[in-house]
Structure 1
Amino acid sequence: MAIWMFGGEFHVENSQPGLRNDLWKYSMSKMSWSLVHNGSAENRQDVPGPRQLAAGCGVTETYFVLFGGLGPEEKVLGDSWIFYIPDSKWYTLSDFRNRVSASNSTQTEGPSPRGDMAVWCTGGDMFIFGGFDENSGLHHALWKFSLSTLSWTQSESSAELPADHEFVKHLNYPSGRSGATTWVSDDRLFMFGGNILANNLRSKHMMIGNVGDLWEYDKLQDLWLYYTGPQKVCNTATQFGDLGSASTRSNPGCRRRASSWTDTHGNLWMFGGDGIDNSQASLSVFAHSKLLSDIWFYNLNTNMWTWKGGEKAGDQKGKFGKKGQSSKNNLPGSRCESVVWQQENNFYLFGGVGHDANGKDGYLDDVWMLDVHLDQSVELNAPTALPVFGMIFFSLGLVILISVLYLFSRRYFQVTSGTNKGKYSRIPLDPEQ
């Protein structure tokens, strides 16, 4: 298994942050990074320009697509690129379609320029929602890029909506936003929080604009389902509750660009982000948000949040311990905009904008792993032996009963043929069916 990472923002000594367009690969077996493409070319038009907060998904060992993002001076981009792994080369989307002789019959014009959008990678598609537009506004459209046909399509429900962002806020539909946190759980698409005020630019780190609502997008019905959390700008502190105990009152508050994973039973996990901690009882347009380092769990069966660990207060420095050794005292420093991936119930986190071991702000390049194999909440949703064996014995007993009844009918009743055609229905093996 390998993880791919493109570009991003980095620190420039005594200057404004810079942007990269290099391509890296992280080997899970070797636990090391390798540079795949340095981002340079004889013709600058042959590689995607430097950027951050773009959308990207791929097909294992074949290719991946890169779309949009924020370029220099946070210019909003709208280009689509393909990196073809066998060629070790970048192509524009149109050039790659010609390269593989893709049909143009399904090709449509792609999304308008945008960056810092919500992104989901499923087995065969990449979905994007929202993001900043060219005029520093916010999108509320949802688009899909097919990894098989290499084409963009906009969802019908979002295409039918008015362009007025303020009007859409009053509908049963998520407000346009930037910096939302996303999960793919058993092919279900979830989205949490983000920023719904276009004038609250990410570089300002202001408290206003962040929300804490949780939504699911139903791909089959092309509908959004609202679950929980404030849909409007937060004005209260995060509600932690008791550590490890689920509660309808517990809520991670409002934040943007948190790190997210799903466990082997499809439940949602979240770490940190840029938002509100437990000390910020009220909001002010003059106050800054805080970088967070708390760990949250959302159970899709009970629809409740649980605070699982980390610090309640924001802006915490990292607690590193010894490299490669786990400890209950270890904790990544508060951060947002990290790169994340997972392997079973091992969650990995790389870098981001946050605090180092000395509590100083900066661009981080540390790699962390969170192991939730033994977490009680994960095991709670695993099938236990009693129901499984109970179903097996019930099924066997039902088969034996049917066999006995059949033999009984053969022994005591004469079976004659008739002219009416028989009609059979399945006997449910589940007593609840």
Structure 2
Amino acid sequence: GGGGGGGSGGGVTSSLPPVSINTLLPWTWIGGSSTYNQQPTGYPEARMSSVTWTDPSGNFWMFGGETVGINDINDLWKYTPSTQQWTLESTSPPLNQNQIGIYGTQNVPSTSNLPGARNDSLSWTDAAGNLWLFGGYGYASSTTEGDLNDLWEYIPTDKTWTWVGGSSHINQPGSYGAQTGTTGTPGARFASVAWTDNSGNLWL
């Protein structure tokens, strides 16, 4: 997927071209459409600026992004390489374009919770294989879009989202507290950078 050209012109694509481990081998087209701006059944629609993870079992996960018509989405998909199949894990019915988040109670996991539609978020996978999502540009708890600083955890084993921290409102400034302290909250942002250390801490 991403912005670019399909078989005839430009747009956003839904194709999945994995990289070969042996750099001397060519790319292999596994699935998806070679035509841009597709809205298929059974695998993700064309999009760009999604957020992705890889779990400890080697499965690929993808959330949200920006699709045709500059609409943000908030569907969560899992791709299993061994079966070459996509599975839709969660979304906002009936359509998932420009949907607000369902925050629930902070630090309480629920199958009803769901981050709002967004693009250009940050992601981590922790040692337990849970998926973490921070910020991006899109929708919080209102129908006005903006920069986000909410922190979410998705637990694949029970299919729950948890609103862990940050604000349920857009364009929030950071709360810095004391340097090296533990009371701060990063301000709203998108298209930043994230990583984990050997102790499993999350950094941005």
TM-score, normalised on structure 1? 0.44
Q: Which has the higher helix share?
A: 1
2 CA distance for matches of 1:235 and 1:165?
17
Give the equivalent residue in structure 2 for 1:174: 44
2:87 maps to 225
1:272 aligns with 2:103: no
Distance (Å, rounded) in 2 between the aligned partners of 1:291 and 1:214: 20
Tell me which of 158, 180, 187 is aligned to 1:333: 187
For the 8 Å contact 1:141–1:154, the answer to whether it is kept is no
Percent identity of equivalent pairs: 31
Change (3 A) 1:341 1:144: same
One-letter amino acid of the counterpart of residue 163, structure 1: T
Cα offset, 1:149, TM superposition: 3.2
Please state how far the C-alpha of 1:147 moved relative to its aligned partner. 3.4
Select 2:115's aligned residue among 249, 252, 255: 252
Code of the residue aligned with 1:278 in structure 2: it is S
Counterpart AA for 2:171 = D
Answer whether contact 2:73 2:99 (CA < 8 A) is retained. no
- The one-letter amino acid paired with 2:132 is W
The residue correspondences of 1:296-311 to structure 2 (distance < 5 A) are 296-311=152-167
Structure 1 Cα separation of the partners of residues 26 and 160 of structure 2: 35
Deviations 1:342-396 (A, max 9, x none): 01321111xxxxxxxxxxxxxxxxxxxxxxxxxxxxxxxxxxxxxxxxxxxxxxx
Superposed displacement of residue 279, structure 1: 2.4
Question: Greater relative contact order: 1 or 2 (C-alpha under 8 angstroms, separation 6 or more)?
Answer: 2
1:248 and 1:260 map into 2 onto residues whose CA distance is: 20
The two structures, once aligned, show a CA RMSD in angstroms of 1.8
Instruction: Give the match for residue 35 of structure 2.
Output: 163
| Distance change in 2, residues 1:252/1:212 (3 Å) | same
Structure showing greater Rg: 1
Task: Name the aligned partner's letter for residue 244 of structure 1.
Answer: N
Q: Across the two proteins, how many residue pairs are aligned to each other?
A: 198
Query: Offset at 1:253?
Result: 1.6
Rate the CA distance shift 1:152–1:335 in 2: closer, same or farther, 3 A. farther
Which residue pairs with 2:54 in the alignment?
Answer: 184
Preserved contact between residue 48 and residue 66 of structure 2 (Cα < 8 Å): yes
> Which amino acid in 1 is paired with 2:192?
S
Q: What's the CA shift for 1:137? A: 0.4
Please tell me whether the aligned partners of residues 100 and 139 of structure 2 are also in contact (alpha carbons under 8 angstroms).
yes
TM-score normalized with structure 2 length: 0.89
Instruction: Return the alpha-carbon distance in structure 1 between the equivalents of residues 35 and 99 of structure 2.
Output: 30
